[in-house]
Structure 1
Amino acid sequence: MWTSGVTKGRLRAQVGLSVMVVLFINGSTGLVCYTAVESLDLGCLLQWDCPHASPNTTYTVQTKTQGDPWQDVAWCVWVSSHSCDISQVFSNFELYNMIRLGVHLSPISTVWIKPRKFDYSDFTFSPPSVSVSLNDDLLLVKVQFPCAANRRCSMQRCCPITEMIDPWTTVTVYNTLNHSEHQTRTVWTQEVVSYVDFSGLSPGQSYCAVANFSFPTFSMAASPKSAPQCVETVSKSGLLPVLCLGIGLTSLLLVTLLTVFLKKTRRPAPATENQAKPPVSIQDQVSLLPLSLVPLDPCDIHVELDDDHISTESSSSLPSNQDQASTCGELELERGLDSGISIPPVSQSSDETCG
């Protein structure tokens, strides 16, 4: 009887132990660890807390992208820490990305906590930075985005988040003295830097620009606004001195060019062959004519010497035949001497001809 009682007691103890193990296992799986994700500028940090786990418990983290199987995060396998930076794991934020935590109860037993998704609802961003420049009445706003925490980019340089996503960028320009005067534009940024311009600004006013951005198609995942950058537009009265100075300099240049041009045009033109020559005197005309072309008849010429000037008169003015003959001889003699040609004395026939 005692033997049978002992046997029944051992059986009950084994059954009770088995129930306790089952309850322990069920309890361990039911006491889910608390997980949380922190994401700044597309980074991802998983943190967890398992309050009922042993201090010696180790953990493994796995990730899964839409269409791919679960994969271990190489630097978060059998770790005793309570966090894992998986920023460099995810690269496509348009797909579903999942994370799960594994609790190792023994070397051969691992309990996986319910997976959780990693998407835009976890995203937070740093504010962008803006710079403004004024060209006449056009205000240009340049928006620069924060560096991404994702390790897909080189660690030695800033990798703007626009290299991984195409955010919506909203820029607002407002009048500092009258906030009701403002303009807002939203653009889809597909470049590393975004440029937005504004026109129609009032002269002589101070304008400031602020910007923020959001994850594409999900405006709820938006960054804070940037620090304002301001610029003052030039007033019309301020343009007057500049305009007057420009007109004065232009006028001075034109006057200088006109003066140089007039001086060049007033210089005497060089003598040309077609320029009119001074009139030639009668004596020069006579001396220039060749003797062979001038038929000389002493009866038709009368020469008078008056202060070394030679004049010609009509033969009708001769007083007498004798005087005319002597005059003809003197004329021939003088012409011969002047021209260097010897002329024979007038013959008798000449006298007769004169008669």
Structure 2
Amino acid sequence: METPGTTTTTRAVVRLCAMVALLIKGSTGLVCYTAVETLDLGCLLRWDCPHASPNTTYTVQTKTQGDPWQDVSWCIWISSQSCDVSQAFSNFELYNMIRLGVHLSPSSTVWIEPRKFDYSDFSHCSLPTPAFSPPSVSVSLKDDGLLVKVQFPCAANRRCSVERCCPISELIDPWTTVTVYNNLNHSDYQSRTVWTQEVMSYVDFSGLAPGLNYCAVANFSFPTFFMAASPKSEPQCVKTVSKSGQLTVLCIGFGLTSLLLVPLLTVFLCRPRQPAPTIENQPKTLV
């Protein structure tokens, strides 16, 4: 039977062994820095383990709120230091987590502290670069104004097919701002912001001066979730029809119409008429 002194000594030895074990574990120098990069709703996990050996391999796992941790099938026992997990997430309104596993041996894996991935990763505060690519615009004349069509960048997400472009507007509804300005006088401009609920956005502008060059640019954002705005698109320009040009078009149209109608009228007017029957030629009435 152990004496009280022996019991106290045994406990002290156990505590000392535990502290030594913790020190040995910390002395391995396993320090990894992880970062999440996002572009167009995609998600790229990068990491740097300065003290890991060149032959170290890694595994990445993801977890969506309510689900268990799952391996990213294309990032198991890899030697690279990045993993694109865009196809692993489909719902940004739930909590999504990512964690890195470092394989110290075939039977020993150390998991680094998980990182989240949600709407806040698209905000200005967490990103040194824009989280979205700029949209593209096309401009066409419409009556006395312009029609601007906005095309959004493709998204990287498992809800979209890899073989085709899936605009981000299929996954979330952006706020789209379109600005049309006079190319010679940028203070002469019109700007409209619309909530886009379709794959593409169409915005009409009217009241533009005739005979001038107007350019259109667009960008989009998600102010509801305090998300970053995209950069502006490349400008697309078009020249509105001048009054003299409109008169010329009317004259040309009138001339073409005349060329078609005059021959028809000439043929109709010059067509020989049948002579009216005279009295002599009429049959006599029987008495």
Q: What TM-score do the two structures reach when normalised by structure 1? A: 0.64
Select 1:209's aligned residue among 177, 191, 216: 216
Distance 1:219 1:234, change over 3 A: farther
Residue of structure 1 in register with 2:76 after alignment: 77
Q: How far apart, CA to CA, are the structure 2 residues paired with 1:75 and 1:33?
A: 21
Task: Say whether residues 1:231 and 2:238 are aligned partners.
Answer: yes
Q: How far apart, CA to CA, are the structure 2 residues paired with 1:250 and 1:177?
A: 37
Aligned partners of 2:90 and 2:158 also within 8 Å: no
Aligned length in residues: 265
> What's the secondary structure of 2:21's corresponding residue?
helix
Residue of structure 1 in register with 2:58 after alignment: 59
Residue of structure 1 in register with 2:20 after alignment: 20
Code of the residue aligned with 1:136 in structure 2: it is D
Q: How far apart, CA to CA, are the structure 2 residues paired with 1:77 and 1:17?
A: 34
Select 2:197's aligned residue among 190, 195, 202: 190
Q: How far apart, CA to CA, are the structure 2 residues paired with 1:252 and 1:265?
A: 23
Task: Say whether residues 1:276 and 2:275 are aligned partners.
Answer: no
Q: How far apart, CA to CA, are the structure 2 residues paired with 1:137 and 1:252?
A: 28
> What's the secondary structure of 2:87's corresponding residue?
coil
Q: Which has the higher contact order (CA 8 A, sep 6+)?
A: 2
243-252 or 160-169: bigger deviation: 243-252
Q: Which runs of 4+ in 1 moved over 6 A?
A: 12-17
Code of the residue aligned with 1:23 in structure 2: it is L
Aligned partners of 1:120 and 1:218 also within 8 Å: yes
Deviations along 1:114-148, whole A, 9 cap, x unmatched?
22111234341111111111133121112222222
The gaps in structure 1 that reach 5 residues or longer are 1-11, 280-287, 290-355
Going by fraction, where is helix more abundant, 1 or 2?
A: 1
Distance 1:89 1:216, change over 3 A: farther
Q: How far apart, CA to CA, are the structure 2 residues paired with 1:23 and 1:147?
A: 49
Tell me the CA shift for residue 212 of structure 1: 1.3
> What's the secondary structure of 2:88's corresponding residue?
coil
The gaps in structure 2 that reach 5 residues or longer are 1-11, 123-130
47-56 or 112-121: bigger deviation: 47-56
Alignment of 1:251-266 (within 5 A): 251=258, 253-264=260-271, 266=273
Select 2:183's aligned residue among 176, 182, 193: 176
Tell me the CA shift for residue 202 of structure 1: 0.7
* Structure (1 or 2) with the larger CA radius of gyration: 1
Q: How far apart, CA to CA, are the structure 2 residues paired with 1:190 and 1:148?
A: 16
Distance 1:73 1:245, change over 3 A: closer
